[in-house]
Amino acid sequence: MKISRLIELSLFYQLRDLLSVKKTNDIAKSVDFISYQLKYNNISTTKDVVVKVDGNIVASGYSVDYLNGIVNFDIALTQSNQVKVDYYYCNFNIYDESSNETSESFKYPAVAIYEDETETKPYELGSSQTEKTKTYIIQVFSERGGERNDVTDSIVELLEGSIGITDYNLGFPLNEDGTLNDSFDPYQIITYTHAESINYRKGGSLDIGNKPKFYSEIIVDLKIFI
């Protein structure tokens, strides 16, 4: 997997955590009393999920599908049991450059990330180390101007710090069934980037669909040493 793809994935997961909000005492629904559907999906893998049955915290006997927001119990509960869950979920849809904001599959609120261009130059005379400056464009779409502004400011603050680039060639946080990948190491960092420059503008509304859509664009030059 190329470094540009690793940067995009690292931005994706860090933005998903950044934009996660807490849901407390979400009453999960079930028809078979084994699989319990939560109200939201895209659950954060870096924050605790607390499962309670009839008000009591249970630490085992179930698995969590983080992608689809489902708690699967090993043994069926009964109709009288009530399952409540505390968790963090990302309330923004995050897309890459293959998405189009005018398509029906593009859901608001949303963040889109894509690479613009790459410049490579020697980092140090006589050294094999290379410095790359990659330009990324991050777009924020929302149906509320205030939300657009808050999210834009939060992303800019994230970009102003050092961003670790995770080697996803070694695995991803989730398995194919949405459960946690126990072998995934969140500290499998291969390098770090910092922003050489950040420019952004909070635009007006976009004429897409029946509701006004508020838009902002962040252009960041990320410097990486490889």
Same domain, 73 and 102: no
**Of 52, 71, 90, which residue sits at a domain end?**
90
pLDDT digits (tens, 9 = 90+) for 134-183: 899 999 999 888 999 999 999 999 999 999 999 999 999 999 999 999 99
| Residue 56 contacts residue 81 (beta carbons within 8 Å) | no
**Of 90, 116, 140, which residue sits at a domain end?**
90
Please tell me the total count of domains within the chain.
2
Per-residue pLDDT band at 125 (split at 50, 70, 90): very low
**70-73 and 110-122 strand pairing:** unpaired
What domain range is 135 assigned to? 3-19+92-225
Same domain, 108 and 201: yes
pLDDT digits (tens, 9 = 90+) for 189-225: 999 999 999 999 987 665 555 555 788 999 999 998 7
**Of 90, 110, 138, which residue sits at a domain end?**
90
**Within a 13 Å sphere around the CA of 137, how many CA atoms are in the beta-carbon half?**
11
CB contact burial 195-215 (16+ within 10 A = b; e otherwise): beebebeeeeeeeeeeeebbb
